Structure 1
Amino acid sequence: MKRWLPHPLLTATLLGVWLLLNESVAPGTVILGGVLSLAAVWAFTALDLPEGRFRRPRVAVELAFIVLHDIVRSNNAVARIILRRGKGNRMSGFVRIPLDLRAPYGLAALACIITATPGTIWVEYDSAKNTILLHILDLVDEQTWVGTIKGRYERRLMEIFQ
């Protein structure tokens, strides 16, 4: 059964989304959705993704609330920067941050967190040095950003994924 249907929950979810998007449960729609779902799942298994462990769901929930709070706070800060007349003394710049996190899923989550936060962009990841390069819209102090990324996000991601 695993050979024909390696990820049944993912297949069912994809089929469900297909049916919702088409707003139909006609036999042709169900058959086409089933075939596409199976093809997508087989392609997914061919990727040979690295093993990852998700530990400490309580820390993940805590991290989600922290990220949500930071996104709201950053939205307000970016709106004030944009709506303020003139440039003022705002200075944007790049910050290179050394990481201890090496788990691929943890790095992907960190990239999503940083990019989803307004005013910050993940520019580059150097796997040899294990550093990231960020562009910050309103860069006041580089060490504050290093402390924020390492203390608020990286530490929790390491608890979750390593």
Structure 2
Amino acid sequence: MNARFGLPHPLLSFTLFLVWLMLAGASAAFIVVGLILAWILPLLTREFWPDKPTIRKPWKLVPYVLKVILDIVIASISVARLVLSFRREPQPAFVCYHLTMTHPMGITMLASTISLTPGTVSADVSDDHKLLLIHAVDVSDDQDLIETIHNRYEKALMEVFQ
């Protein structure tokens, strides 16, 4: 088969297929449509991927995703309590996070994870990819936030990508 019509990003194709099945269901028609989409979409977007993303240990993504889902649920409850509580004012802050990770896809996943978690958002990445600016809705200690991000997310992503 011509390389042009193969799977330029097999992991992306596999992920698209799984997400499609979770959203649409697992009937025969949806499986066929999911396979077609998982083949076509990476082909159409391959020009936007200058380098093929390299994941050293893809099996480490499963516990990472489960950890992120749990953190999203916990953070949602915390933010809801903060919003519904009239007793104390939130302490919003911008925090500069020094990245130890160098892999571009890992940095992107870290920034996305931070933005997915309620109460925090990745505001900017420095031009040299060594600093991440994070806005948090309620921060009592900047260093505690930095250590939490490093220990829960960045270390796990470094295992996956580096």
SS at match of 1:60: helix
1:3 Cα deviation after fit: 4.0
Q: Contact 1:94/1:136 (CA < 8 Å) preserved in 2? A: yes
SS at match of 2:121: strand
Q: Contact 2:95/2:134 (CA < 8 Å) preserved in 1? A: yes
Larger radius of gyration: 1
Gaps of 5+ in 1: none
Q: Contact 1:120/1:136 (CA < 8 Å) preserved in 2? A: yes
Q: Partners of 1:129 and 1:5 in 2: how far apart? A: 34
State the Cα RMSD in Å: 3.1
**Could you list the per-position Cα deviations for residues 31-86 of structure 1 after superposition, in whole angstroms to 9, with x for gaps in the alignment?**
xxx7x988744432222432332233443222122212211110110000111125
**Could you list the per-position Cα deviations for residues 113-134 of structure 1 after superposition, in whole angstroms to 9, with x for gaps in the alignment?**
1111000000000032610000
Identity %: 29
1:68 maps to which residue? Answer: 69
Gaps of 5+ in 2: none
**Could you list the per-position Cα deviations for residues 89-132 of structure 1 after superposition, in whole angstroms to 9, with x for gaps in the alignment?**
42111000000111111112112211110000000000326100
Q: Which amino acid aligns with 2:154?
A: E
Provide the TM-score with structure 2 as the length reference. Answer: 0.75
Q: Which amino acid aligns with 1:72?
A: V
Pick closer, same or farther for the CA change 1:126–1:73 going to 2, 3 Å: same
